[in-house]
Amino acid sequence: MTAFGSRLRAAMDTRGPLCAGIDPHAALLAAWGLPDSLEGLERFSLAAAEALGPEVAAVKPQSAFFERFGSRGVAVLEEVIRTCREAGALVVLDVKRGDIGSTAQGYADGYLDPSSPIAADAITASPFLGFGSLAPMLDTARKHDAGVFVLALTSNPEGASVQRAIGPDGRSVAAGVLDALREANAGSGPLGSFGAVVGATIDPPGDDVDLAIGGPLLVPGIGAQGGTADDVRRIFDGVLDTVLPSSSREILGAGPDPAALRAAARQAAAEFAALVG
């Protein structure tokens, strides 16, 4: 298996820089004329996976919207992951896990070991128990050529109280997370396998923040959450070639027609590819 960063670089170059979210929350199910039930979840999620999997570089299912239906919902998530990967898309499973020791290792084995039925190409993770707490996830990702996207600067207003807090060294917590990712990616190419999550609608990141981490930058908040191509250009100038914009509701709102979903994804990918080109 080729390292996740190399696979992502190839996918972004051939399919365009876009990560399409699959977020089957109740409002979207209703918009598609589906019930907020296990049946609705399955019909929505597999239709999105079948339409978007052959089109985009990456797909990002939000685990919470599957977990709310219990084990049968997780079984649907497993099928979504399989469908997308078979169609050629990389799967970034949005779980935002963060823990310590054997528990962190358990999450890593569940989501990144290919012998697991729910294994994905990469996961999202929270570093706010200390970046070192993520070592089992990073080590497991290295072992299996998977990836980890670590929360750094998120768009939600509550995040700033932690992420922009100043540590004893006079630098922000986010700056320290980005430094640790840069170190983890050292020597990797053409793109490291350890990325940062940086929102498309954040305030200016600050002079101590360097977004050039040698790995991908997963950028949620595009479309319905207010993020635009101009925002991406403003925040990520100088590292645009590493940006993987993520759009969920804006694309999913074009459904349930598969052709409309594919067209929305192509349009978004082309828009962001133009920023790099």
User: With 70 as the cut, is the pLDDT of residue 64 above it?
Assistant: yes
Per-residue confidence at 75, pLDDT binned at 50, 70, 90? very high
Least confident of 2-6, 8-12, 148-152, 272-276: 272-276
Work out the angle at residue 54's Cα, subtended by the Cα atoms of residues 277 and 122, and round it to the nearest 5 degrees. 80
Q: What average pLDDT does range 220-230 have in this prediction?
A: 77
Query: Which residue from 190, 181, 168, 246 is spatially nearest to 210, judged by alpha carbons?
Result: 181
Q: What average pLDDT does range 146-152 have in this prediction?
A: 98
Phi-psi domain of 240 (left: phi exceeds 0; alpha: psi -120 through 50; beta: other):
alpha
CB 9 within 8 A of CB 191: yes
Q: What average pLDDT does range 208-217 have in this prediction?
A: 96
User: With 90 as the cut, is the pLDDT of residue 68 above it?
Assistant: yes
Per-residue confidence at 203, pLDDT binned at 50, 70, 90? confident
pLDDT of 118-148, one tens digit each? 999 999 999 999 999 999 999 999 999 999 9
CB 113 within 8 A of CB 87: no
According to the model, what pLDDT value does residue 277 have? 67
Q: Is 86 exposed, middle or buried (0-12, 13-18, 19+ CB in 10 A)?
A: exposed
What is the overall mean pLDDT for the chain?
A: 95
Least confident of 125-134, 201-210, 233-242: 201-210
Q: What average pLDDT does range 55-67 have in this prediction?
A: 98
According to the model, what pLDDT value does residue 159 have? 94
> Alpha-carbon Rg of the chain, whole angstroms?
18
- Domain ranges in the chain are 4-276
Cα–Cα dist 79/46, whole Å: 8
Q: Which CATH code for domain 4-276? A: 3.20.20.70
- The rounded percent of the chain whose pLDDT value lies above 70 is 99
pTM for the model: 0.97
- Catalytic center residues: 96
Phi-psi domain of 259 (left: phi exceeds 0; alpha: psi -120 through 50; beta: other):
alpha
pLDDT of 153-184, one tens digit each? 998 889 999 999 999 989 999 999 999 999 99
Work out the angle at residue 112's Cα, subtended by the Cα atoms of residues 63 and 219, and round it to the nearest 5 degrees. 55
- In which element (H, E) is residue 134 found? none
Q: What average pLDDT does range 113-119 have in this prediction?
A: 97
Least confident of 4-8, 73-77, 222-226: 222-226
Q: What average pLDDT does range 245-263 have in this prediction?
A: 96
According to the model, what pLDDT value does residue 224 have? 63
Cα–Cα dist 153/209, whole Å: 10
According to the model, what pLDDT value does residue 113 have? 98
